[in-house]
Amino acid sequence: MRLRIWVLVGSVVVFGVLVGFFVTRFLNPTPPQITASTTSQTLEGKPVVDFTLTTVGTIGYGPHPEWVSYLPTTYLYVPAGSVVHMTIEQQDSASGLRNPYFSLVRGTIGDQMTVNGKVVQAIDPSLPAHTFTIPDLGVSVPLEGVSGNVTTNVVQFNFVVPDQKGLFRWQCFVPCGAGTLYGNGGPMQTLGYMAGELQVG
């Protein structure tokens, strides 16, 4: 009789944990993680991997369809000790910076990027729509906003990730959270929109 009670209690506990897990996953979904594409290239003696992201002025779906966002996701995985070749198709208009420090390219190889094929190390502080910034790695790249007939600015840069595993938070530092205090709320502080995680493994 005692054994039956323990089996019943154990079954109820396991069932409760499973229900709790599925409810939590449903209420707090995590966007899928994308893995960098491997290439046959090397740079500075390290293997090169590729990511391509897009920034848009409104994501158009989900719980906040009007929010600005990186697509397809902000959860990135890259092998340890590699060089990341990042391509960002920037499709949002300029918001401008409050801190001109973020108009400088930092932490990339050569502290430079290309914008539509042109090599630059900084842009006018009034021109960025967003930044791609990983504070713990010292990487920060301003993304020039589109204007006129230009619908996409293609920004490319390379940076090195550590040889050891780690999780690094990255985000935009242009105050692009319209309708929030000083533009720094909403998508600016929400993973999956203007904030993300780079997992190095």
Tens of pLDDT along 31-81? 679 898 888 999 989 999 999 999 999 999 999 999 999 999 999 999 999
Helix H or strand E segment including 3: helix 2-27
Which residues span the domain enclosing 11? 1-30
Count of domains forming the chain: 2
Specify whether 43 is located in the same domain as 130.
Answer: yes
Q: Which helix H or strand E contains 23, and what residues bound it?
A: helix 2-27
Shared domain for 166 and 151, answered yes or no, is: yes
Q: Which residue has the higher pLDDT, 121 or 175?
A: 121
State whether 156 and 193 are in the same domain.
yes
E strand segments, 44-181: 46-56, 69-71, 75-78, 83-90, 113-115, 118-120, 128-134, 139-144, 153-160, 166-171
Contact 131, 188 (CB under 8 A): no
pLDDT band, residue 148 (cuts 50/70/90): very high
Q: Looking at the structure, do residues 70 and 164 belong to the same domain, yes or no?
A: yes
Mean pLDDT of the chain: 89
- Extract the tokens encoding 103: 């108009």
pLDDT at site 15: 60
Spatial CA neighbour of 92 closest among 189, 187, 199, 5: 187
Do residues 170 and 101 both lie within one domain? yes
Q: What is the pLDDT of residue 23?
A: 47
190/177 Cα distance (integer angstroms): 10
Residues 63 and 19 in one domain: no
How far apart CA 133 and CA 130 sit, in angstroms, is 9
Enter the pTM of the model.
Answer: 0.83
CATH number (domain holding residue 72)? 2.60.40.420
User: Over pLDDT 90: what percentage of the chain?
Assistant: 71
CA dihedral 97, 98, 99, 103 (to 10 degrees): 10
- CB-based contacts of 138: which residues, under 8 Å, 6+ apart? 106, 107
C-alpha span between 91 and 153 (Å, rounded): 7
47 with 113, same domain: the answer is yes
